[in-house]
Amino acid sequence: MRIEVVADEQALAVAAADVICAAVRSRADAVMALPTGITPIHAYAEIAARVARGDADLSHVTVYAVDEFVGVTAATPGTNTVFYRDHLTFPLRTLHVPDPAADDPQAYIRGFAEAIERDGGIDFCLLGVGVNGHIAFNEPGSTRESRARVVDLAPPSRDAHAATFGSLEAVPDRGMTLGIAELLAAETVLVLASGAHKAAIVRAAIEGPETADVPASWLRSHAELTWLVDEAAASQLSRA
């Protein structure tokens, strides 16, 4: 496990874009798993700027979303589908996002994970971490062996999406997610964290016990794991 600390949110975006673009240079047709959330938005904007300048090309990359809500339409403001439309503004080979209106979401997300396997598996996985330690929609209580499934969303996860949905009441209470096992199967994992409000959970995930209470802690066993955090998020680490 590597820990890289940068000055602030903007430096984090640049550093994350550096890592993602390097991964694409190494393998132009990479299969990537990408998240939504406040933290990666600036990295995606940085990549878009590089693509516009001709400094990066992701047009052969296949992207899979790591999660999506359940019980709304794909056009509902706040869904991950809408997020990717708004923030992954550069050309990709393909973008796969689970259908939030799937009739059988449990079967759907299992099939989604199987499609990743048919594509050769995830070469590069980018993740954020929630204030309760969730990664993708793997909430506290998720085991290391957990696989793609429908989950009940914890209050902090729903709170984080209240603004984009327009209100807390509008945020679905369930989501589809790739499991911890599928995330750990990625060849390379990069986790982003920004802000002082993430400091306690960053310390728990990196320096505390590996436990289902902090799903991000399961990543520690990954052979190619990097935490990229700004100074505020790293402020409680003893080793930073």
Tell me the pLDDT band of 32, cut-offs 50, 70 and 90.
Answer: very high
> Which residues, at least 6 apart from 166, have a Cβ–Cβ distance to it below 8 Å?
77, 78
Here the tokens at position 13 are 């975006």
Structure confidence at residue 57 (pLDDT): 98
% of the chain exceeding 70 in pLDDT: 99
Structure confidence at residue 193 (pLDDT): 98
pLDDT tens across 129-169, in order? Answer: 999 999 999 999 999 999 999 999 999 999 999 999 999 99
pLDDT tens across 74-118, in order? Answer: 999 999 999 999 999 999 999 999 999 999 999 999 999 999 999
Tell me the pLDDT band of 240, cut-offs 50, 70 and 90.
Answer: low
Tell me the pLDDT band of 195, cut-offs 50, 70 and 90.
Answer: very high
The β-bridge relationship of strands 188-193 and 124-128 is parallel
Partnered with residue 32 across adjacent β-strands are: 63, 124
- Is the distance from CB of 175 to CB of 150 less than 8 angstroms? yes
SS3 content of the chain, % helix, strand, coil (to 5): 40, 20, 40
Structure confidence at residue 164 (pLDDT): 95
As a whole number, mean pLDDT of residues 62-82 equals: 97
| Mean pLDDT taken over the chain | 97
Residue 48: how many CB atoms within 10 A of its CB?
17
Tell me the pLDDT band of 186, cut-offs 50, 70 and 90.
Answer: very high
Domains and CATH numbers, the chain: 2-229 (3.40.50.1360)
Q: Could you tell me the CA-to-CA distances from 213 to 141, 142, 153, 221 in Å, in that order?
A: 5, 8, 14, 16
Structure confidence at residue 79 (pLDDT): 97
Q: Which residue carries 């940068």 as its tokens?
A: 6
Kindly report the CA angle at 54 between 52 and 116, in degrees rounded to 5? 80
Cite the active site residues: 67, 132, 134, 139
